[in-house]
Amino acid sequence: MVALTIPNLRAFTTHLFLKETFDQFLLVEADIVTFNSFHIDGMINEDFYTEEEKEQLGFEPFSRWMSIRPICFSLIRGSKLPLSFKIVFRLSASGTQKLLTQAGLSDRYDVEALYFNILYKNNALTCITGTSSREFTMDKTVEHIWDEKIRQFFKKWEIDFDQA
């Protein structure tokens, strides 16, 4: 787990809410506090889709950020900053498998999910990584690889950060 502080709030939120930068991630949940408190559960209601639609969509249990981003942007848009927001992203199952395979770890670790949390409060924005394994392990190899992948992702998109 690593905590990254984001010094340029405007640049980061432009990437988050206006650009496609984070669209590859799955949304686990979002909490946005403005004039009201809004909670979005990213879990997809499977009953909404037919079996054919699920097959066409390459069904994941959570919504892609690209489909929820406009809704979240509409909640924060305006002349005043939100009081706070928390957005929890998850790498897709195929993305997780690809990352483990590239690192030569796919047969050694049973990873449930790789998370990435964005927390904004009191004019400070922090991004925190996290991992979830199906089995307890003291080995932090996957965690370190995921932390580095997020740092590389930020560098690729020229998102400035300081490591706390």
User: What count of residues does the chain have?
Assistant: 164
**How confident is the model at residue 142, as a pLDDT?**
94
Q: What percent of the chain has pLDDT over 90?
A: 79
Least confident of 5-19, 56-70, 138-152: 56-70
- Minimal CA–CA distance to 103: which of 131, 141, 134? 141
- Spatial distance between the Cα atoms of 122 and 108, rounded to a whole number of angstroms: 41
In angstroms, the CA 99 to CA 126 distance is 23
- Choose the weakest-confidence range: 7-16, 69-78, 85-94, 103-112: 103-112
Least confident of 16-30, 53-67, 80-94: 53-67
Mean pLDDT for the chain?
93
Average pLDDT in the 19-28 region?
98
pLDDT tops 80 at residue 58: no
**34 falls in which pLDDT band (50, 70, 90)?**
very high
Burial degree of 70 (CB within 10 A; 0-12, 13-18, 19+): exposed
Mean pLDDT of all residues in 116-130: 97
Tokens of 72: 């979240």
Q: What pLDDT does residue 28 have?
A: 98
How does DSSP classify residue 48? G
Token match 């992702």: residue? 153
Looking at residue 98, its amino acid is K
Q: What does the pLDDT read at residue 161?
A: 97
What average pLDDT score do residues 78-87 get? 95
Q: Model pTM?
A: 0.93
> String of b and e for 77-87 (b: at least 16 CB within 10 Å)?
eeeeebeebeb
The per-residue pLDDT for 59 is 75
